[in-house]
Chain A
Amino acid sequence: MLEAFDTFWSIYSNLVLTLGTSSLLALSIYLTLSCGMLAMANAAFMGIGAYTSALLTMQAGWPYPAVLLAGAAAPAAVAYLIGKPTLRLSGVYLAMATLAFGEVVRIAILNTEAWTGGALGLNGIPAETQPWHVALVLLLVVAVLERLRRSRTGRAFEAIKEDETAAGLMGIDVAAHKLAAFVMGAAIAGLAGTLNAHLTFFIGPNEFGFDRGVEILTMTILGGIQGLMGPVVGAFIVTLLPEVLRGLQDWRLMANGVILVLMVLFLPRGLWDPARLRRLLGRS
């Protein structure tokens, strides 16, 4: 039994830990979505966290807990600075501005070769991330978000998502809440980037580009934003699907895409929809 687990773990440990970091990424964009904003900068925030933390470990030799904190703080600080002007935009305009910001980050990483290794990326990052690190960070993030969701801040986010004008007239500082959601999302994405960088040995600029941004959004939309389980479920599916479909070989990506399209078509509110689950259970 134990032996079987050892075999499983030696093959799949990386995948299991990726489930954790993917969940963090999905939760990071959940925050902005739950506040009614379509912000697409999370891949870039992940990258900022990953590079900041990797450099602190490799160049400055910081201890890992401090590196984790810095990996969250750096993207949060950047989010604070760019959030002030960009969060005045709404809808697709905000998505475009944040996508553009993501490109700026990617190209900045490409062109600061002296620090980041440019297109070659950073090699030989010490594998500091232990499984319990991922578990603990995920647990803490979920706990904090769950408390937040059930507090006046969470209700304010929901009110802003439903009707910004009405929310403002309820005495909610709309701009400050949007900024808070954006900054917290960036910090969580940075944590995911830090954990991931110290797990995979290597990071390169293209890991944090447009594709990753869309993948993060897909996870959360697929899972739904009716609760914290949604993003986690979505992250698991998007991460596991390519592995499960490995047998299809060349058709794998196509099957992957078809499954996602079907899910979004038939479950527009996401897979995790407590109201629908309750209805289904009530009927049976």
Chain B
Amino acid sequence: MLELQSISRQFGGLKVLHDVSLQVPQGSIFGLIGPNGAGKTTVFNLITGLLAPHSGSIHFGGQSLVGLPPHRITQAGIARTFQNIRVFKEMSLLDNVVVGMHRHMNASWPATLLALPSFREGERRARERARELLGWVKLDHKVDDLADKLSYGEQRKLELARALATEPKLLLLDEPVAGMNSAEKTELMAEIVNIRNRGYTIFMIEHDMRFVMGLCDQIAVLNFGRIIAQGVPDQIRNDPQVIEAYLGRDDDETTAAAGVPA
């Protein structure tokens, strides 16, 4: 469904991504992992049009995404959340989610200015849908609160609901459980499986190994801008290069054999 082919990107002299190729199959949960600074978020920024690749191609359902502005990519069916949460803090939870439905609300100008029934109906449906989506992430009891008042974990969940509001086919999650406690993590894990079961494809970046291994159908590992391994969780767990990337190489190889970090 999403296909990146030999993507490269540099910032000045620094090559952040080298010849990165990935395929995210439809209906799967795909994980991208790697140490800090490996270039994971840059991959998301390239897919969503915030940055342009210097070479390579990105295709989504057969359509090339390179050179499209972000709003067109969202309209093509890709939504994302951010590592450093970017909810609209001064807006209510409901409005945050309704903003995500922007392109699905198509009341005409006269209908909007005169508040004709077609406009009201659209607004009502949008609010209803927003409540439903907030229900998916269990925030439906706070719809009228300002987003600013939410805890860190709740803001992440709000971002998730807002991304879903754009009616995406593919959902990009940038470290969805960062800063959450383990109860929240377990809960979100269930939410993500639910979302996948509703027919969405999910592509996530994550640091938390237990979370990734438990959730993803396929994993790719990025280190210093290159894909060093790709496969099902068990393959990744036992890949010597991955172990080296995470734990470093030791002269005494026995330490590396102890396993992957938890």
Contacts and interface: CB of A to CB of B under 8 A. Distances in A.
A152 B102 contact: yes
A156 B87 CA distance: 14
Contacts of A173: 69, 71
Q: Which of A162, A167, A174 has the most CB of B within 10 A?
A: A162
Interface stretch (A15-23, A116-124, A143-151): A143-151
Contacts of B114: 147
Interface in A148-193: 148, 151-153, 155-156, 158-159, 162-163, 165-175
B80 A169 contact: yes
A169 B48 contact: yes
Interface in B224-242: none
A156 B69 CA distance: 16
10 contacts: A144-B113, A151-B119, A151-B123, A155-B98, A168-B70, A168-B74, A169-B80, A171-B102, A171-B103, A175-B69
Contacts of B99: 155-156, 158-159, 167, 170, 172
Nearest to B48: A169
A119 B101 CA distance: 52
A171 B100 contact: yes
A148 B114 CA distance: 10
Nearest to B89: A162
A158 B90 CA distance: 9
Contacts of B69: 168, 173, 175
Interface string B58-77: 00000000000111011100
Contact of A165 (B50, B107, B123, B165): B50
A163 B86 contact: yes
Given A153-B112, A162-B89, A170-B166, 9 more contacts: A151-B112, A152-B101, A156-B99, A166-B88, A168-B69, A169-B48, A169-B74, A171-B74, A172-B71
A172 B112 contact: no
Contacts of B95: 155, 158
Given A155-B99, A156-B102, A162-B90, A169 B70 contact: yes
B86 A165 contact: yes
A224 to B, nearest CB: 13
**Which of B95, B101, B102, B112 has the largest number of chain A CB atoms within 10 A?**
B102
Contacts of A144: 113
B247 interface: no
A167 B70 CA distance: 9
Interface in A112-145: 144
B192 interface: no
User: Of residues A156, A163, A175, which shows the largest number of chain B Cβ atoms within 10 Å of its Cβ?
Assistant: A163
B115 interface: yes
B161 interface: no
A156 B166 CA distance: 13
Given A152-B105, A156-B102, A147 B70 contact: no
B42 to A, nearest CB: 15
Contacts of A168: 69-71, 74
B192 to A, nearest CB: 19
Contacts of A175: 69
A129 B74 CA distance: 48
Closest 4 CB pairs of A and B: A168-B70, A171-B74, A166-B86, A162-B88
A140 B30 CA distance: 53
Contacts of A151: 107, 112, 119, 123
B79 A172 contact: no
B193 interface: no
Contacts of B245: none
B70 A165 contact: yes
Contacts of A148: 112-113
A162 to B, nearest CB: 4
B71 A163 contact: no
B1 interface: no
A144 B115 CA distance: 11
B82 interface: yes
B156 interface: no
A171 B75 contact: yes
Contacts of A156: 99, 102
Contacts of B75: 171
- Tell me which of A153, A172, A175 has the highest count of chain B C-beta atoms within 10 A of its own C-beta: A172
Contacts of A174: 71
A171 B71 CA distance: 4
